[in-house]
Structure 1
Amino acid sequence: MPLILLSALNRIALAAVTLFGVAVVVFVLLRVVPGDPIAMMISPGSTPEQIAQMRANYGLDGSILSQFWIWLKAILLGDFGTSISLRRNVLELLAERLPATLELAFAALVFAVLLGGAIAIIGTLVRRTFLEPVIDTVNGTILAVPDFVWALALILVFGVFFPVFPLSGRVDPSVQNDFFTYFYLLESPLTLRLSTIVDISSHMIMPVLALGLPLAAIIARVLKEALLEAMVQDYILLAKLKGKSNLRLIMQEALRNGIGPTVALTGVQFTFLIGGTVIVERIFAYPGIGNMAIDAVINRDLPLIQGLVLVFGALFILINLGVDLLVAAFNPRLRHA
């Protein structure tokens, strides 16, 4: 069995164990912290019998061990329970909100990769000139500002002073019911709805910038260091003697050999980017799972919180697994092992 396939199988098994551990920790913590989710649902005139019946309906009348066992069996059967605050199936809620977060996160990732890659290449081309410290200073400034601060600044500039983009939401309410799926950004070009693409993009520009700018700065810094290290290698000097320009050296030689560490770090940072959508979605009232997670915590909606944590955990694990496979694909020694 190839080494890369064996490594992938080992990581999948480890991912299942990790996800189970996350489920245990979250389940226990949610039940030992102060507060009663049922108390937030009952009306002032509810009788003790009605309260007990409601606890039984949500499976909160047994011991922690029995509650966990019932919940785990339901999860394995695809039943994530019913949201206490929204009175809806948790799996349906996740299916509605997850596509919005995934589209936002991937759009921010594409923007960050393109911008960060461009900055790194330009910074490598102008090395040892007066422009290099200027680019490094601008990049460092972008990196120092958190995503939520970028979000507030973008709202102030492009939503208040110069109202160019919508301040909240994902799409205009008048067209929201015209979609067949919840992947609005993916579905719109497939159905040739150009006006809808413009509307969705205008709603996403500010959240994408807020999430993507700090990641772009990280990518630029790491990729530039990798390119500078590659540019002094013997194979680069040999290619330079053949008359290749600096841009061709970077794009054809150095970039191919320096992209591995950048891919690894980008994958790790992408998991943090998905976690960062919680605050950014809240600021822009973006209807993703991050925004819903804050409401779930405020309302102490145990079934919804548990489902959200499992989804976030599964996303982190899948992203890290995908990054490991990409790193192996870019590394010839691992690919041919």
Structure 2
Amino acid sequence: MLILRRTLKRLATTFVTLLGAAVIVFFVIRVVPGNPIAMMLPPGASEADIDRLKSLYGLDKSIVEQFVIWIGGVVQGDFGNSISLRQPVLDLVLGRLPATLELSIMALVIAVFIGGVLALTGTRFRHSKVEAAIDVTNGVALSIPDFLWGLVLVLLFGVLVPIFHISGRISPSLDFDFLTSFYLFESVLRLRFDIWADIVSHMFMPAVALAIPLAAIIAQLLKQSLKETMHLDYVTLARTKGYAENHVITREALPNAILPTLTLVGVQFTFLIGGTVIIERLFSYEGLGNMAIDAVINRDLPLIQGIVILFALIFTGVNLIVDLAYAFLNPRLRHG
């Protein structure tokens, strides 16, 4: 019953958050200077042409009326049509979402692997120069934003030593008919590992650029949790029984120290998705973030609204899952 009440409470909070995001994005983007209709028409267009387009996109009504019409459509799954691309917003957003999700998941896997290795190594060689070097490395990784890491990777592995692709999602020369927009997963399921390798080659540098700051955060938190756990009684008992230090760390301390890190990873995953905007632009990656920048440049109001609502839905959904998972895994919260 406690978990059920917690779930209902989080669902109510999620609904309020989504409604707040919808209100903010709808009204704020209309305060920003710029006329999307004027950007669509050629110079010398008549007032009749302007009025016709305003009526087509509902911009001839008051802001409150526009919001009511738009939110009513969203509830029914209709996000309107893109002003610049002349296509349904929902189709455009869902078509680009898989690319961003694959990039974010790959970055998360890399971050968890690097952060976990650094934390375990720092714990194993605590109070030594190795731990000090790891702390310095974490500090450097956190002090440099992901887009600068992207530029560094482009210079190193795209220009000086051209190992990876620096733009796009897949090589145009490859002839392969995808059934879905999840290129990475579909290529594995269809056993086309040559296609998979090409996709990974395109994704690797943007994924690493996104992963480096998150890996440093994971390493810091997990190492601190491990150091606190290493002084507990059951860890001391394991040492007394003669277990090797590596066994004590990975089998005794890690399972109990990893819970706060798992919560952090879930929360940071939402920020990771938001961070793809600049990285996707930098690497010309055909994802949702790249589309968001184009929508802002073109003042494509329906497309901006659809992208923001989708991001908000992902953020709230992931946070809801993390919160419920933490309540389930933590006995003190599970039993009240």
Q: Do the two structures share a fold, i.e. TM-score over 0.5?
A: yes
Q: How does 1:152-231 map to 2 (within 5 A)?
A: 152-175=151-174, 178-231=177-230
2:231 alignment partner in structure 1:
232
1:54 alignment partner in structure 2:
53
Q: Find the aligned partners of 2:254 and 2:61 in 1 and give their Cα distance.
A: 58
Residues 172-214 of structure 1, C-alpha deviations (whole Å, 9 max, x = no match):
1234751000001111110110100100010011011100011
SS at the partner of 1:215? helix
Q: Does the CA-based 8 Å contact 1:263-1:326 persist in structure 2? A: no
The answer to whether residue 11 in structure 2 is matched with residue 7 in structure 1 is no
Any stretches of 5+ residues in structure 1 without a counterpart? Answer: none
* Cα distance, 1:139 vs structure 2: 2.1
1:319 alignment partner in structure 2:
318
Q: Find the aligned partners of 1:329 and 1:223 in 2 and give their Cα distance.
A: 20
Residues 192-250 of structure 1, C-alpha deviations (whole Å, 9 max, x = no match):
10100100010011011100011001000000000000000111111111111111111
Specify the code of the residue in structure 2 equivalent to 1:320: N
1:332 alignment partner in structure 2:
331
2:120 alignment partner in structure 1:
121
SS at the partner of 1:168? coil
Q: Identify which range, 149-158 or 127-136, moves more after superposition.
A: 127-136
Which structure 1 residue ranges, 4+ long, deviate > 4 Å from structure 2?
none
1:142 alignment partner in structure 2:
141
1:20 alignment partner in structure 2:
19
Q: Find the aligned partners of 1:239 and 1:176 in 2 and give their Cα distance.
A: 57
Residues 78-137 of structure 1, C-alpha deviations (whole Å, 9 max, x = no match):
111111111111111101100000000011001111110111001000012232212211
The answer to whether residue 265 in structure 2 is matched with residue 266 in structure 1 is yes
Q: 1:253 to 1:204 in 2, by over 3 A?
A: same
Specify the code of the residue in structure 1 equivalent to 2:191: L
* Cα distance, 1:265 vs structure 2: 1.9
Question: What is the count of residue pairs matched by the alignment?
Answer: 336
Q: Find the aligned partners of 1:32 and 1:207 in 2 and give their Cα distance.
A: 33
Q: Does the CA-based 8 Å contact 1:147-1:210 persist in structure 2? A: yes
Residues 27-76 of structure 1, C-alpha deviations (whole Å, 9 max, x = no match):
11122222111000012232211110100110100001110111111111
Q: Does the CA-based 8 Å contact 1:38-1:51 persist in structure 2? A: yes
SS at the partner of 1:174? coil
* Cα distance, 1:313 vs structure 2: 0.5
Q: Find the aligned partners of 1:206 and 1:329 in 2 and give their Cα distance.
A: 36
SS at the partner of 2:83? coil
Specify the code of the residue in structure 2 equivalent to 1:167: I
1:39 alignment partner in structure 2:
38
Q: 1:176 to 1:260 in 2, by over 3 A?
A: farther
Q: Find the aligned partners of 1:156 and 1:243 in 2 and give their Cα distance.
A: 49
Residues 262-316 of structure 1, C-alpha deviations (whole Å, 9 max, x = no match):
1222222222211110000000000111011111111110000000110111111
Q: How does 1:288-303 map to 2 (within 5 A)?
A: 288-303=287-302
1:102 alignment partner in structure 2:
101
Q: Does the CA-based 8 Å contact 1:109-1:212 persist in structure 2? A: yes
Q: CA RMSD in A?
A: 1.2
Q: Find the aligned partners of 2:118 and 2:21 in 1 and give their Cα distance.
A: 38
* Cα distance, 1:325 vs structure 2: 2.0
Q: TM-score, normalised by structure 2?
A: 0.97
Q: Does the CA-based 8 Å contact 1:116-1:219 persist in structure 2? A: yes
Q: Find the aligned partners of 1:139 and 1:67 in 2 and give their Cα distance.
A: 48
1:90 alignment partner in structure 2:
89
Q: Find the aligned partners of 1:56 and 1:322 in 2 and give their Cα distance.
A: 41
Q: Find the aligned partners of 2:176 and 2:4 in 1 and give their Cα distance.
A: 43
Q: Identify which range, 185-194 or 172-181, moves more after superposition.
A: 172-181
Specify the code of the residue in structure 2 equivalent to 1:253: E
Q: Find the aligned partners of 1:332 and 1:197 in 2 and give their Cα distance.
A: 41
Specify the code of the residue in structure 1 equivalent to 2:224: E
SS at the partner of 2:82? coil
1:242 alignment partner in structure 2:
241
Q: Find the aligned partners of 2:327 and 2:153 in 1 and give their Cα distance.
A: 38
SS at the partner of 1:133? helix
Q: TM-score, normalised by structure 1?
A: 0.97
Q: Find the aligned partners of 1:125 and 1:232 in 2 and give their Cα distance.
A: 14
Specify the code of the residue in structure 2 equivalent to 1:101: T
